[in-house]
Amino acid sequence: MGSKRNGAPAKLRRVVAFEIGAHAVTASEIELHGDQTRVVRRGSAAVAADTWDDLAGKRETLTQAIRSAAASAGIRSRQAAVVIPRRYVTVKYARLPQGSPEQIAGMVRFEAQQYVPFAIDDSVLDHQITSDPGDDMTTVMIVAARRSLVNDLLAAFDHAGIEVTHVSVSSLALAEHVRSEPMPVAILGVWPERVDMAVVVAGRLLFSREADISEVSQGSAAPQAGGDEGEASQSSPAPWAGGGKGEGGTALVTEIARSLAAYQNEHRTQPVERLVLVDHETEDPYLVERLSAALSIPVSVLDGSDAAALGLALHQSPDPISTINLLPVQRIERRAEARRKAVGRLTLVLVCALAAVGIWAIQQGMAAQARERRLAAFENRRLKALQTALKKTQEERDKLAATYRVVSVGLGRDRPVVDVLKSVSDALPRKGGIYLTQLTFDRNGPVVVHGSADDHEAVTSFLVALQASGVFEEARLGYLGDTKSVGGPGGAVSAGSAAAEEKTSFMMYCRLPHRADEDESTSSGSRRTGRQSASSSTADRLPGGASE
């Protein structure tokens, strides 16, 4: 049940609404989708008929009824909206100068002193602007209820463990059902002892009135209208009970006509075009016909079993007709402060938790960095040791390679030391006359022979023999000169020799054939001379010189 509009639907919501009637507390859970409503759960619990007249005295009974109604409906939500009967609320309209919202609120509080029948400090006050922004004056709907009544009602819900987030008025909740009507439409809630009327046009509430008709059945000549004074009378049997067509219901029809006349006196240019009857407990099957005939306007019927609850849910829709909330400001502030403290505590806990996690993460990071540093230091030491060992190994390898080259060159069969010495020995003249004093052998090629001879012919024979040996690539005479020698060979005095003899000294240069591995040894910087010198200071001739 609920009005349908052409606007885009809003997100799906669940609203819990409580209505405290004359005989029962009704709890409803309503699904709200845009401005469309659907009752999901519904439960009720009986209360005494005079509950509203003594909320403070019947708080425990009302609390139990609230819990029972919610339990029977299976409602678990801890938040709800509540509706107050129109007869316990003062609703007045005032025209004020244009101003800011803060200025309007100040003027409303001052203006309300003329309309509210009890002290402003003892009331819960709210207002809503119902005029267009372009109007010369601002029309404001002022709604007030006794603070004690609201506090007693909220205390019952507090004891039931339910937080009340919205306190509305019965006629304002009913008005939500006709808020989309373009022409003035009156919606009428009918109970056995009272009627609530609201007139709505184009989403604006123009008029609200409650009438008490309970005394008609006791013989009163005329019903009493009002409700703005906040006084309620005892309930009694319905004035329309019994009777056939054209009988009974006179008081109800009369009171509805008076309410419409009261509206027409304030809004002469906007007559009511249609009446919507929200039927709660009427038993007169001819009531609609009687009202239509008496008022001369069309009358339709709206099921009243959940009308107020659905209207409360529509207060939460995107474009409600009423924004009135009679929840005391002090209570709102206390709850807001409690929420701020809760949020503050939660924030503090979260900050502490995040700080603890941050500290733990930092400690873990520092521990990981320490492990990495230790591992890096160990690996660096290991690398340094390996580098030192590698360098030592490379040096040893270089030495070994150099030694290998020297040995391989020295022991190579194409250039053996023994063969060089044999070649020099074989080249000595067989007749003698040659005395070798020094032989220098460089493994890179040069062989230098120093010595002396008896005459030049012996030197020449020795040189020719070296050249013909085939061992040397080149053999040439480097130096030839005369010297004096005393005695025999080596300067020793021979037996039977008395005078110095003339000798010929010489130096011969021989070069071995060139090898490729000698160039490689020279370019690497690791060349070893491997020079071998054979010096002989003896004056004796090598074996094979004189005789073999």
Together in a domain, 433 and 316: no
Decide the pairing of beta strands 36-46 and 137-146: unpaired
pLDDT of residue 282: 58
Instruction: Find, among 361, 332, 357, the residue nearest to 124 by Cα.
Output: 332
Q: Tell me whether residue 406 is in a domain.
A: no
Together in a domain, 303 and 447: no
User: CA 230, 232, 235 angle in degrees (round to 5)?
Assistant: 160
User: What's the one-letter identity of residue 387?
Assistant: Q
Together in a domain, 101 and 223: yes
Residue 403: enclosing H or E segment and its boundaries?
A: helix 329-411
Together in a domain, 252 and 110: yes
Is there a contact between 136 and 61 (Cβ–Cβ < 8 Å)? no
pLDDT in tens, the chain (548 residues): 444 444 445 678 899 999 988 789 999 999 988 888 899 999 999 999 888 888 989 999 999 999 999 999 999 999 999 999 988 999 999 989 998 989 998 999 888 888 888 888 899 999 999 888 888 899 999 999 999 999 999 999 999 999 999 999 999 999 999 988 899 999 988 876 778 889 999 888 889 888 877 654 444 434 344 445 343 333 344 444 444 444 445 777 888 888 899 999 988 899 999 999 887 655 567 778 888 888 889 998 887 778 888 998 898 888 888 899 999 887 777 777 777 888 888 888 999 999 999 999 999 999 999 999 999 999 999 999 999 999 999 999 999 888 877 766 655 545 567 888 888 888 898 888 899 999 887 766 688 999 999 888 889 999 999 989 888 888 999 888 887 654 444 444 444 444 456 788 999 999 888 766 555 555 554 444 444 343 333 333 343 333 32
Q: How far apart are CA 207 and CA 272, in angstroms?
A: 11
Q: How far apart are CA 415 and CA 441, in angstroms?
A: 11
User: With the C-alpha atoms ordered 534, 538, 539, 541, is the resulting torsion angle positive or negative?
Assistant: negative
Is there a contact between 450 and 439 (Cβ–Cβ < 8 Å)? yes
According to DSSP, residue 75 is labeled -
Q: How far apart are CA 33 and CA 31, in angstroms?
A: 7
- Of 294, 327, 360, the one marking the end of a domain is 327
User: What's the one-letter identity of residue 117?
Assistant: P
- Of 305, 327, 349, the one marking the end of a domain is 327
End-to-end CA distance of the chain: 146
Q: Tell me whether residue 33 is in a domain.
A: yes
Q: Provide φ and ψ at 432, rounded to 5°.
A: 85, -165
Q: How far is CA 42 from the centre of its chain?
A: 41
Instruction: Find, among 18, 112, 54, the residue nearest to 232 by Cα.
Output: 54
- Is this prediction's pTM over 0.85? no
Helices then strands (H, E): number in the chain?
11, 19
The CATH number that applies at residue 493 is 3.30.1360.100
Residues in the chain: 548
- Token pair of 511, please? 């070069």
Together in a domain, 255 and 139: yes
Q: Tell me whether residue 495 is in a domain.
A: yes
Q: Provide φ and ψ at 529, rounded to 5°.
A: -65, -40
Together in a domain, 253 and 140: yes
Q: How far apart are CA 283 and CA 177, in angstroms?
A: 23
Together in a domain, 321 and 423: no
Q: Tell me whether residue 7 is in a domain.
A: no
Q: Tell me whether residue 377 is in a domain.
A: no
Together in a domain, 138 and 283: yes
- Token pair of 402, please? 């150099």
Q: Provide φ and ψ at 38, rounded to 5°.
A: -150, 130
pLDDT of residue 349: 92
Q: How far is CA 40 from the centre of its chain?
A: 36
Q: Tell me whether residue 369 is in a domain.
A: no
Q: How far is CA 2 from the centre of its chain?
A: 41
Together in a domain, 438 and 316: no
Instruction: Find, among 70, 83, 22, 11, the residue nearest to 47 by Cα.
Output: 22
Q: How far apart are CA 451 and CA 440, in angstroms?
A: 12
Together in a domain, 421 and 323: no
pLDDT of residue 501: 67
- Of 327, 352, 376, the one marking the end of a domain is 327
Is there a contact between 75 and 107 (Cβ–Cβ < 8 Å)? no
The residues facing 210 across adjacent strands are: 196, 226
Alpha-carbon distances of 14 from 45, 451, 522, rounded to whole Å? 22, 129, 99
Residue range(s) defining the domain that contains residue 480:
417-535
Is there a contact between 308 and 37 (Cβ–Cβ < 8 Å)? no
Burial of residue 515, with CB atoms counted within 10 A of its CB: 0-12 exposed, 13-18 middle, 19 or more buried: middle
Q: How far is CA 323 from the centre of its chain?
A: 36
Alpha-carbon distances of 489 from 90, 310, 502, 535, 544, rounded to whole Å? 158, 148, 12, 15, 16
Number of domains comprising the chain: 2
- Token pair of 314, please? 């529509």
Together in a domain, 443 and 315: no
The 3-state DSSP class for residue 335 equals: helix
* DSSP E strand stretches across 202-344: 204-212, 224-226, 274-279, 299-303
User: Could you tell me where the DSSP H helices lie in 47-206?
Assistant: 59-73, 101-111, 147-159, 170-175
Alpha-carbon distances of 388 from 394, 397, 398, 401, rounded to whole Å? 10, 14, 15, 19
Q: How far apart are CA 506 and CA 461, in angstroms?
A: 13
Q: Tell me whether residue 412 is in a domain.
A: no
What is the Cα Rg of the chain in Å? 65
Together in a domain, 316 and 424: no
The CATH number that applies at residue 322 is 3.30.420.380
Residue with tokens 């005369």: 482
Q: Tell me whether residue 195 is in a domain.
A: yes
